[in-house]
Amino acid sequence: MHHGYLSIIRMIETDLEFEKDAVRIYNEFAEKVSDAQLREMFLEFAKAETGHVNGLQRLLQFIQDGEHEVKFYCPVCGWEVNFGKNPGIGDQARCRMCGVIFELIEIGGDYDIRRL
């Protein structure tokens, strides 16, 4: 498991299982239905869910490879505070809008920020 992403990885893995089940179920429906329009509809649903599966798998891979940027919304002004890819606990970033400096911390396996 990649450092700082505990809750996010758990949520993605849970959603990934849901999406895989949806693909399987829609394909089963398509196999069992006799109406051609319904079959096509279920196959389109399965195709869409397959796209979700692929996207979630790519996101997990980006996190595991350290290619996902760690970003937060500034609690002062709402602007983006970006710590970049593969940051370390204790790294600092300044909000480009309001200038407040934040430190990257970890709480319970998840990244968080603390105002300095």
Model confidence over 64-111: pLDDT tens digits? 998 999 999 999 999 999 999 999 999 999 999 999 999 999 999 999
Q: Is residue 59 located within the same domain as residue 99?
A: no
Domain of 106, CATH number, reads 2.20.28
If asked whether residues 30 and 47 sit together in one domain, one would say: yes
**92 and 76 share one domain:** yes
Max Cα–Cα distance, the chain, nearest Å: 64
Answer whether residue 1 is part of any domain.
no
Q: Does residue 25 belong to any structural domain of this protein?
A: yes
Residue among 111, 89, 83 at smallest CA distance from 9: 111
Q: State whether 47 and 78 are in the same domain.
A: no
Contact 82, 69 (CB under 8 A): yes
What does the DSSP assignment read for 47-113?
A: HHHHHHHHHHHHHHHHHHTT-SEEEEE-TTT--EEEEEES--TT-EEE-TTT--EEEEEEETTEEEE
For 54, the domain range is 6-64
**pTM of the full structure:** 0.81
90, part of any domain = yes
